[in-house]
Amino acid sequence: MVVGDASLDIDTLVIGAGPGGYVAAIRAAQLGQSVLCVDKEYVGGVCLNVGCIPSKALISASHQYESISHADAFGITASDVKVDWSKVQEFKSGIVKKLTGGVGSLFKANKVQFFSGEVMFINENEARVFNDQEAPRYRFKNCIIATGSRPIELKAFPYGNRIISSTGALSLPELPKSVIVIGGGYIGIELGQMFSKFGTKVTVIEGGDSILPGFDKDMSSLVVKKLKGTKVDIVTGALAQSAEQTDNDVTLTYKVGDKEEKVTADYLLVTVGRRPNTDGDLGLELANITVGERGLIEVDDQCRTSNKNVYAIGDIIAGPALAHKAMYEGRVAAEAISGLPSVIDYKCVPAVCFSDPECASVGYTEKDAKDKGHNVKVGKFPFAINGRAMSLNAAEGFVKLVADADSGLVLGAHIVGMEASNMIAELGLAIEMGATLEDIALTIHAHPTLGEIVLDAAEVALGHPIHTVLK
């Protein structure tokens, strides 16, 4: 390893090349800064390589398989439908390769330097970057930390051949015949449902009283119905106790109340949350950076840490561990460094679960709005009487709008159904710009589309729906 004694100068050092880091690096470069981005694993971070993108590729493949297998609803008969798991994995890997290569090209186009290695702070404005070949020292004017997070590993369930994290679940060498999932949050449900669509026997063990606790129960109940349709066993109020592994399977012992139960499967998938990557050898204390509760770095409304020249974004600061939140914060931090008046505003951070049906929310729930003192008005419209939803054989779900009854201001939106993940963007914009129910109702939506359900929900809230009768 070659170690440089003299410090090299850089305007902005970005630690981490995930969604938050690469966006921050590119935006900072666009604003005229010389930028070095460092990542110890890969360009694109967890999201592009072992998270959001590969999981959605597998989920999409499972939808295709299910659709073909049940095409008789459209009058189409398909026989001898098979899954070639190796080709499914090739499809997933091909998408990852294209996207990570794309980020690398964007770095070159924006003159962002990339270093494959690790970082350790030396003091408040210097850091050593290093790998097996070299270890140059950099003096930076500003730094953005975007080191992300990793799956929480429980002591009772250490990761191995048969006990796996979400990362391991995405790269299994074969399609398992059975999987146990500990955790009924969005990661566990997305991956569990994906496997079940491919024919895997899935058992979900959830400690709470329902799955998808971040969403309205009216929404999660539709997902539960679909899960049971693919013969997924959901055990709520359950506490995982221990696991016994063999070369071929794993047996989980869990308790529901005082009753002990056992279930055996090919794999045990543990999805109980993620841990911020702030506990390594980064040397945060040498840079005078305060780490608060649960390993999260404390920041102000521009993502600035206790060191005024160092910023932190993404999963290592407070808030949900979402790639789009990290991207947003990356832009804010890069612009703040450049002297722009950018500040974080979390009013419109959407939450999405790529379950079947999809769940998406933005803004206030009905309870949140009431707790904030609003006189609340709600408009709810089902997919079942929308022409496009019927033509897609996707009549499950609804759009629910939460608004201030006095002003008509849209405060929140909740969608469960096909394409909810795409439909929620319109309502995030509505809340961001201060739109009213009337603004939505007067916006011409193309026909026939799923987006019309948003218009119909607004008209329900206003009291004059065209496509349903108020009760």
> What positions carry a catalytic annotation?
447
Q: Confirm whether residue 166 is marked as ligand binding.
A: no
Q: Confirm whether residue 459 is marked as ligand binding.
A: no
Taking residue 340's Cβ as centre, other Cβ atoms within 10 Å add up to 13
List of residues 6+ apart from 285 with CB closer than 8 A: none
Q: Confirm whether residue 32 is marked as ligand binding.
A: no
Q: Confirm whether residue 188 is marked as ligand binding.
A: yes
CA angle, 176 as apex, 171 and 177 as ends, to 5°? 170
Q: Confirm whether residue 184 is marked as ligand binding.
A: yes
Task: Please state, in angstroms and rounded to a whole number, the distance separating the CA atoms of residues 27 and 30.
Answer: 5
Residue 397: which of 379, 416, 414 has the closest Cα? 416
Q: Confirm whether residue 208 is marked as ligand binding.
A: no
H or E element that contains 312: strand 310-312
Q: Confirm whether residue 94 is marked as ligand binding.
A: no
Q: Confirm whether residue 273 is marked as ligand binding.
A: yes
DSSP helix/strand/coil, 136? strand
List of residues 6+ apart from 460 with CB closer than 8 A: 379, 380, 381, 468, 470
Task: Please state, in angstroms and rounded to a whole number, the distance separating the CA atoms of residues 201 and 151.
Answer: 23
Structure tokens at 126: 């210097």
Instruction: Give 219: exposed, middle or buried? Use CB within 10 Å, 0-12, 13-18, 19+.
Output: buried
Task: Please state, in angstroms and rounded to a whole number, the distance separating the CA atoms of residues 354 and 247.
Answer: 32
Q: Confirm whether residue 187 is marked as ligand binding.
A: yes
Question: Binding site for FAD: what residues are annotated?
Answer: 56, 147-149, 315
Question: Binding site for NAD(+): what residues are annotated?
Answer: 183-190, 206, 273
Question: Binding site: what residues are annotated?
Answer: 56, 147-149, 183-190, 206, 273, 315
